[in-house]
Chains A and B, each alone.
Chain A
Amino acid sequence: MPFVWNFPLFTIVLCLFSGVLCMMLRGRTARNYTIVLEAVLIVMVSAVLWYTYTAGSAFTYSMGEFPAPWGNEIRAGCLEALIALAFLIVMLCSVIGGWRFTALDIDESKINLYFSILNLMTAALMAMAWTNDIFTGYVFVEILTLTSCGVLIAREIGRTTLAAVRYMILNLLGSGLFLLGVVLLYDLTGNLLMVPMHEAIEELWAAGQGIAPLTLAMGIITIGLGIKSGLFPFHYWMPDTYGMATPTSGAVLSSLVSKSYIFLLIKIVWRVVGLDIWREMPVARILFVLGICGMVAGSMSAIRVNNINSMVAFSSAAQIGYIYMGIGLGGPAGFTAAIFHILGHAVTKSLLFLTTPRLAEVSGDSLRFKDLQGSGYRAPESGAFFMLAALSMIGIPIFAGFSSKILFGIAAADEGGWRFFVIMLALAFSTLLNILYFLRTVIRIYTERGSTLTRPVIDMPGGVKWDYVLPAAVLTLANLFLGLFSWAAVDVIEKGLGMFF
């Protein structure tokens, strides 16, 4: 067994261990430790990505060397490695770039606990990317839920408590449904590992038995994970949750946590149910419709709000809609587009959440649009990064947003029929709406005259340092990379999807 086979397990175990260790460290030390840890993890995951990509096949690591139907397994292909790598990079950039706000928002004595929770969250993200066992998936879904509540309420103001309660209630509904779905699947197949489950499901489906319970179980799982990731009509908790948390948390929650649930769903669809069976299920069609509705409804809500963070948060609802539309389409091209959009949106949305608090900082600590007038001049770096990210969200060529829209278009053309027209119309309409609210905001932050600043700008908190600019630049470069070299990412994604069998 090559040594690199151990790395996926190392990433999980190291994060879990660091979660405990950070509780004993002092605040700043915990931060530095977390940054070093994440850099090490990035190296490990890159090694896994390189190994699986060059080997052209995935590997399965059985814990305790128990053979297939009994043990617990970790499985790494190049898609899992790519997702884990993207998650770690975004996490690292959010931790470094959000530090100046974290230090202000969180009590000095509790910062080590914040990093402890972040490390546990990373462990859950990694485990959900690697696991080959559906019940392990459930356990880490719950850990992710608890830790996301933790990073949300780390900023102790009233609104975050209320936001956390609402977020947790919806998440608990989602977890309950997901657990019931997993239990139903277990009862039907008698297995928890994905490969034997898939074999049993294929057998059942071919024999025409248990079609109703299988569809029910998949429906429950899909709705459960959909609620947790903010699928339309369950997206109303987003602005409070993402917008009120400290910027690092907001970036991590919107770009990683919700994506992690979606990736688990994609794994279940491919590796447990199988693509052919998924396409025959009505669940896929319902998901398609909900995705389209989300694309429009999320943008509509984003237009109405008067606060920049709520707008950015509601635009997540629209982007989640894109991803679910791709999954609901059911073809491999749809999944490729959805996964590409997961990556593109993760780097863009985290950048947006890192820039908005700085824009607010130079506008009298207000996130309202009318106070942000001209803030692009007062905080030139943030203004520029915000504009680049906004252009990507709209879908201007050379940015990631453009490539993912092209990929969705190609997937729709592959599918043909009425869905092609629906998707093209939805894409066009959603792009228009995106232009309406993102470009409006960009123009506003670069318009000096007529500024109606109600509160005087007390002082302009010092300039920004490399620890703010560097992560934002890395995220922007990642965005440009995904936009300019989308073929490379698509190649890895397609190869990884091919390894799913």
Chain B
Amino acid sequence: MIHNLLSNYVEAGAIVLFGIGFTMLLFHKNLIKKLIGMNIMDTGVFLFLASMGYISGRKAPIIANGVTDMEAYINPVPAGLVLTGIVVSVSVTAVMLALSVRLYKRYHTLDLDDVYALSVHINEDR
């Protein structure tokens, strides 16, 4: 068990990062810190994907010096998935930041507990 964890330390670290980000996104009160947590969480997944996709000793899949042997290169798909994931993550972050700005303009705080209390206090119904 420990041996497996040590030999796959990158993946283990990625899952730890995912856990940190996930708990932050779930439990932190501050919206901006939640967003930071979300980015950590996504980075954890990307690290996991990138480390799984890399095989040590092999090269990027660009044919050089006429070597066409499949064993010489790594699979480019995981890297492509990481790129797609990064794009998605960036756009989600952008939307959430815009939402935070709107929330702040209205309630003058980013602490979600306070926002909720305020919202109940002024009894916004419709």
A residues in contact (CB < 8 Å) with B: 135, 138-139, 142, 145-146, 149-150, 153, 157-159, 161-162, 164-166, 168-169, 172-173, 175-177, 179-180, 183, 186-187, 192, 244, 307, 360, 365-368
B55 interfacial contact with A, CB 8 Å: no
- Interface pairs A-B: 8 shortest CB-CB: A142-B88, A176-B41, A159-B124, A187-B52, A183-B49, A158-B106, A158-B124, A161-B103
B9 interfacial contact with A, CB 8 Å: no
The residue of chain B having its C-beta at the shortest distance from the C-beta of A152 within the complex is: B99
8 more contacts with CB within 8 A, not counting A180-B18, A183-B48, A307-B125, are A138-B88, A139-B84, A142-B88, A142-B91, A161-B102, A162-B103, A165-B115, A366-B125
Label chain B's interface by main secondary structure: helix
By a CB distance below 8 angstroms, the chain B residues around A180 are 18, 45, 48
Is the CB–CB distance between B85 and A169 below 8 Å? no
By a CB distance below 8 angstroms, the chain B residues around A179 are 42, 45, 85
Docked Cα-Cα span, A179 to B112, in Å, equals 26
Is the CB–CB distance between B88 and A139 below 8 Å? yes
12 A-B pairs, CB-CB below 8 angstroms?
A: A149-B99, A153-B102, A159-B119, A161-B102, A165-B100, A169-B26, A169-B34, A173-B22, A173-B26, A176-B22, A366-B126, A367-B125
The residue of chain A having its C-beta at the shortest distance from the C-beta of B34 within the complex is: A169
By a CB distance below 8 angstroms, the chain A residues around B22 are 173, 176-177
* B11 → A minimal CB distance (Å): 9
Is the CB–CB distance between B126 and A365 below 8 Å? yes
Docked Cα-Cα span, A186 to B125, in Å, equals 46
B77 interfacial contact with A, CB 8 Å: yes
B81 interfacial contact with A, CB 8 Å: yes
Docked Cα-Cα span, A239 to B25, in Å, equals 22
The residue of chain B having its C-beta at the shortest distance from the C-beta of A156 within the complex is: B102
Is the CB–CB distance between B106 and A161 below 8 Å? yes
Given A158-B106, A192-B77, do A176 and B18 touch, yes or no (CB 8 Å)?
Answer: yes
Proximity string of chain B (114-126) to chain A, C-beta cutoff 8 Å, 1 when within and 0 when not:
0110010010111
* B88 → A minimal CB distance (Å): 5
Is the CB–CB distance between A168 and B96 below 8 Å? yes
By a CB distance below 8 angstroms, the chain B residues around A175 are 92
Given A176-B21, A176-B25, A366-B126, do A165 and B31 touch, yes or no (CB 8 Å)?
Answer: yes
B92-111 at interface with A (beta carbon < 8 Å): 92, 95-96, 99-100, 102-103, 106-107
Is the CB–CB distance between B103 and A173 below 8 Å? no
By a CB distance below 8 angstroms, the chain B residues around A172 are 25, 38, 92, 96
Given A157-B124, A168-B96, A173-B26, do A162 and B18 touch, yes or no (CB 8 Å)?
Answer: no
By a CB distance below 8 angstroms, the chain B residues around A187 are 52
The residue of chain A having its C-beta at the shortest distance from the C-beta of B107 within the complex is: A158
By a CB distance below 8 angstroms, the chain A residues around B31 are 165
* B35 → A minimal CB distance (Å): 9
By a CB distance below 8 angstroms, the chain A residues around B78 are 186
Docked Cα-Cα span, A157 to B52, in Å, equals 45
By a CB distance below 8 angstroms, the chain B residues around A149 are 95, 99
By a CB distance below 8 angstroms, the chain B residues around A150 are 95
The residue of chain A having its C-beta at the shortest distance from the C-beta of B28 within the complex is: A169
The residue of chain A having its C-beta at the shortest distance from the C-beta of B88 within the complex is: A142
Given A162-B116, A173-B25, A365-B126, do A168 and B18 touch, yes or no (CB 8 Å)?
Answer: no
By a CB distance below 8 angstroms, the chain B residues around A161 are 99, 102-103, 106
Given A135-B81, A164-B99, A176-B42, do A158 and B119 touch, yes or no (CB 8 Å)?
Answer: yes
- Which of B41, B85, B119 is A162 in contact with, Cβ under 8 Å? B119
By a CB distance below 8 angstroms, the chain A residues around B103 are 161-162, 165
Docked Cα-Cα span, A187 to B77, in Å, equals 11
Is the CB–CB distance between A169 and B25 below 8 Å? yes
* A268 → B minimal CB distance (Å): 17
The residue of chain B having its C-beta at the shortest distance from the C-beta of A367 within the complex is: B126
Docked Cα-Cα span, A180 to B85, in Å, equals 11
* B81 → A minimal CB distance (Å): 6
Given A173-B22, A176-B18, do A165 and B99 touch, yes or no (CB 8 Å)?
Answer: yes
The residue of chain B having its C-beta at the shortest distance from the C-beta of A180 within the complex is: B45
The residue of chain B having its C-beta at the shortest distance from the C-beta of A190 within the complex is: B75
Docked Cα-Cα span, A169 to B126, in Å, equals 22
* A489 → B minimal CB distance (Å): 35
The residue of chain B having its C-beta at the shortest distance from the C-beta of A244 within the complex is: B126
Given A169-B34, A176-B18, do A142 and B92 touch, yes or no (CB 8 Å)?
Answer: yes
Docked Cα-Cα span, A157 to B116, in Å, equals 14
* B86 → A minimal CB distance (Å): 12
- Which of A139, A146, A186, A365 is B95 in contact with, Cβ under 8 Å? A146
Docked Cα-Cα span, A153 to B96, in Å, equals 12
The residue of chain B having its C-beta at the shortest distance from the C-beta of A150 within the complex is: B95
